[in-house]
Amino acid sequence: MNALRTSGLGKRYRQRWALREATIAVPAGARAALVGPNGAGKSTLLNLAAGLLTPTTGRAEIFGWPLETAAVAFVAQDKPLYRRWSVADLLRFGSATNPRWDRAAAQSLLSGHDISLRERVDRLSGGQRTLLALALAVGKRADLVVLDEPLAELDPLARLQVMSVVRELEATVLLSSHILADLAEVCDHLILLGTGRVRLCGSFADLLSSHSATDLEDLVLHYLRNPEAVR
């Protein structure tokens, strides 16, 4: 069973195609890493998977059902949160807008990282804000969790904390990042995008053996240096 399946998914902004004919499958329970140079269409694909953008062509399915926002938890780039609200307010926001809300799970993530419910969001550090955004995703109890650059601009300790939370998520995860070493630790699937198209999609093990690469970094760098060689 695929948690996420897209077929012929494309998004055009005026004259420019940000993503073309993207056909990918992320199996249930997978941790899929979305990798590619800047402008390759990563954010567009994630925004489509989150139901925030409407595709120009093709479609996306979550566990065989047409995509709807209730089934996906999305942490957008820069982790947008209501900055003047308290942490407790944001938890109440999660419970008010999600019928399957799991307050205990969201709260235990926060208390596990010493984030006080009384704190105002704009007084949290970048790492704490990321953890709060993840707590909202956990509380939603979504089948698929989509994270756009969750590790960007985090200090090393915060990055470790966020990675361990991602590793323990019960849902299927699709996340984008530039930090290949981190992805190799957390993820087991790779989707490689280049200039708006899907270049590689599959499990690490399959991709490494079929391209006779030694590790993820090797495979991705090989593609980035010579895009035409990887098909």
Nearer to another protein, 25 or 76 (CB): 76
- Regarding beta strands 189-194 and 31-35, do their DSSP bridges make them parallel or antiparallel, or are they unpaired? parallel
Helical residues (DSSP H) of the chain, grouped into ranges: 42-49, 87-97, 103-112, 126-140, 156-168, 180-186, 204-210, 216-225
Q: Is 43 left (phi over 0), alpha (psi -120 to 50) or beta?
A: alpha
- Regarding beta strands 2-13 and 172-176, do their DSSP bridges make them parallel or antiparallel, or are they unpaired? unpaired
Show the binding pattern over residues 11-50: x = contacts another protein (CB under 8 A), - = does not: ------------------------------------x--x
Is 10 a residue that touches another protein (CB under 8 A)? no
Question: In the β-sheet with 65-66, what is the strand arrangement from edge to edge?
Answer: 16-27, 2-13, 57-62, 65-66
Among 70, 105, 179, 184, binds another protein (CB under 8 A): 70
Among 83, 103, 123, 167, binds another protein (CB under 8 A): 83
| Contact set for another protein, span 179-218 (CB under 8 A) | none
Among 93, 105, 185, 203, binds another protein (CB under 8 A): 93
Is 78 a residue that touches another protein (CB under 8 A)? yes
Through-space distance between the first and last CA atoms of the chain, rounded to whole angstroms: 25
Binding site for another protein (CB under 8 A): 47, 50-54, 69-70, 72-74, 76, 78, 80-85, 89, 92-100, 136, 140
